[in-house]
Amino acid sequence: MIRSIQYLRAVAALTVVWVHARYVIPGIGEQLGEPYFGGSGVDLFFVISGFIMVVTTARDDLTPQKFFLLRVIRVVPLYWVATLALVACEAAGGCAPFETSSRDPYPPMAIAKSLLFVPFSWLGDAKGLWPILANGWTLNYEMFFYALFALSLAAPRRVRLPALGLTLGSLVVIGRVFGPFATPLASFYSSPLLLEFVAGMILAHGWLRDGWRSGLPLSLFVIVFGFYCMGSLHSRPIIMGGAFLVVSGCLNPRICAIQNRPLLELGNASYSIYLIHQFVLEALAWSWTRVFPRITWVSSAFFVASALVLCAVVGCLCYRFIEQPMTSQLRKLLKKSGGYLRSQTSS
């Protein structure tokens, strides 16, 4: 485990909460102004994902099947739980804090596409492909990347990363040259966001080969400048470059050696925080507007601060009592089934 990367996962998750908390109650966004980091927490997640996939498979000869199963175990269970919880709430006619919803129960096809990571929009908006659990749009990219990464593991080691990077880069080039496409799926899978996975893979390859040779002052400068690029400039290439710089700067050995238990726990729980924070925000907003009906700058700032703390706490509890036990049990089942299949083959 690379501690500094876990810390970054915590920062990325809380950045997403920071942004969404400003818009869950009408008027708060106007009081506080535009959020500094915008949606760049997702950019951090994608670069980290590309980095981690390369690092964790560098020394283990995982088969494509085992790699993909491990990724499914990591991503799918909690996402399905969160999605089906939202479906159940809508099927019950809406319940607090979702009682303001006037939507009919979700159609079966929308549920199936959401659970199977097929990009679509139940709103019928081709410009925004939102699954039932809106945060799941990023997981559609993640699962697509995992599928391609799993396929690349079947190739010789020396060509894996170049082939995968070329594939993802080619999709983006096709989107730029021949797009915009009329088909939402084609637009989705040719997004420049795919390049962030490539950036993470390139960073991991260089780090595994050469390590980090620069001193701490340069690393700190790279991190600060990276965050500046992510937050102050509204340009996709600059935001992507900023995310790359932040992750690379955090690989300095002295930064990796920093021990901070609360931040580490938040990093471990980052996936839970990311998936369930919208439930927490809706519940908090529902109660908040009844206690503080008037929207002021002070009440808005207090709401966002409370949202950050509450989402972090509930996310950690979700990780401890739901995500971690489910993942652990499924990994044990996978290990047992693998041993059983090997024994059957040898006999």
The long-range contacts involving 336-343, CB below 8 angstroms and separated by at least 24 positions, are 338/66
Asked whether the predicted pLDDT for residue 258 surpasses 50, the reply is: yes
Per cent of the chain over pLDDT 70 is 90
Q: Any idea which of 31-45, 88-102, 170-184, 330-344 has the lowest mean pLDDT?
A: 88-102
**Which long-range CB contacts under 8 A does 16-20 form with residues at least 24 apart?**
16/41, 16/42, 16/135, 16/274, 16/277, 17/273, 17/277, 17/281, 17/307, 17/308, 17/311, 17/312, 18/304, 18/308, 20/277, 20/278, 20/281
Count of H helices and E strands in the chain? 16, 0
DSSP for 128-158? ----SSGGGHHHHHHHHHHHHHHHHTTS-HH
User: Model pTM?
Assistant: 0.92
Give the pLDDT mean for 160-183.
Answer: 92
Q: What is the DSSP letter of 321?
A: I
**pLDDT for res 96:** 52
- What does the pLDDT read at residue 340? 43
Whether the pLDDT of residue 97 is over 60: the answer is no
Q: Please give the pLDDT value at position 18.
A: 93
The whole-number average pLDDT for the span 140-169 is 96
Res. 33: pLDDT tops 80:
yes
Which secondary-structure segment (H or E) carries 111? helix 108-115
Look at residue 317 and tell me whether its pLDDT is greater than 80: yes
Average pLDDT over the chain, rounded to an integer: 89
pLDDT band per the 50, 70, 90 thresholds, residue 267:
very high
Q: What is the pLDDT of residue 93?
A: 67
Q: Counting every residue, how long is the chain?
A: 347
In whole angstroms, give the CA distance from residue 104 to residue 290. 26
Q: Residue 58 above 70 pLDDT? A: yes
* Rounded CA separation 244/186 (Å): 26
Burial class (CB in 10 A: 0-12, 13-18, 19+), 344: exposed
Q: What is the pLDDT of residue 345?
A: 39
Half-sphere exposure at residue 145, Cβ-oriented, CA atoms within 13 angstroms: 29
8 Å CB contact between 78 and 275 = yes
- H or E segment at 159? helix 157-178
pLDDT of amino acid 181: 82
Q: Specify which of 164-173, 226-235, 329-338 reaches the highest per-range mean pLDDT.
A: 164-173
Average pLDDT of span 107-133: 82
User: Is residue 270's pLDDT more than 60?
Assistant: yes
Residue-wise pLDDT tens digits, 276-302: 999 999 999 999 999 999 999 999 999
